[in-house]
Amino acid sequence: MKIICVGRNYAAHIDELGNIRPEAPVIFMKPDTAIAQSSLPFFIPEFSNDVHHEVEVLVKINRIGKHIQAKFAHKYYDQIGLGIDFTARDVQQELKAKGLPWEKAKAFDGSAIIGKWFDKSSLGDLGSLSFSLHNNSEVVQQANTSLMLWSVDELIEHISRFFTLKIGDIIFTGTPSGVGPVTKNDRLEGYLNQEKAFSLIVK
């Protein structure tokens, strides 16, 4: 399985980081070793002093597909989740300044939090899902999928032009504004349509 991540899919997040709005989805990958064990805390890596939380709606692919048209994309997933793309922001900025890839900042071990999966039929309109991230009971990120620049089905169409999607692949659909640093002993909790999707401690 592979983890396919989308960057710059919410306008407010693009603005908060001072990035340029892309003409097409920005895609990067995480290896399966990036998936954190759900029973363990998230450990801040020793190579970064500025790790940020980025909460994202997730999609799990349930059939093999290539060159999938957006109008058929809904047939390729039936589970939606919520997770965190942890980002070593200081490392990322250094890499971006040199025109280098982001993997060291985005794809390190344990950088992908994958919460509970929900049957998409139980969530209602997927184009209007509310989600949020709480840090020590304070809401730090809150958004709705209606604010995406590219919808889930449009993302699947774009991604499948370049990569064959396989059963079990996970798409991280992008983070809204409000990203920020985590510190030791923070408790992070994610909610999708008011349902708790994950809870973890930072160490």
| pLDDT, tens only, 135-175 | 999 999 999 999 999 999 999 999 999 999 999 999 999 99
Q: What is the pTM of this model?
A: 0.96
Structure token pair of residue 177: 């504004």
> Using CA of residue 145, residue 54, residue 91, residue 152, what is the dihedral sign?
negative
CATH superfamily, region 3-201: Fumarylacetoacetase-like, C-terminal domain (3.90.850.10)
When pLDDT is cut at 50, 70 and 90, the band that residue 37 belongs to is confident
- Chain mean pLDDT for the chain: 96
pLDDT score at 199: 97
Tens-place pLDDT, residues 84-127: 999 999 999 999 999 999 999 999 999 999 999 999 999 999 99
**pLDDT tens digit string along 41-62?**
999 999 999 999 999 999 999 9
Is 19 a residue whose pLDDT tops 90?
A: no
pLDDT at position 16, please? Answer: 78
Compute CA 34 distance to the chain's CA centroid, rounded to the nearest angstrom.
Answer: 12
Give the residue extent of every domain in the chain: 3-201
What SS3 class is residue 124?
coil
Measured between alpha carbons, how far is 49 from 51 in angstroms, rounded to an integer?
6
pLDDT of residue 20: 78
pLDDT at position 161: 98
> How many Å apart are CA 139 and CA 117, to the nearest integer?
21
- Predicted confidence band of residue 38 (pLDDT cuts 50, 70, 90): confident
Query: 114: helix, coil or strand?
Result: strand
Q: What is the CA radius of gyration of the chain?
A: 16
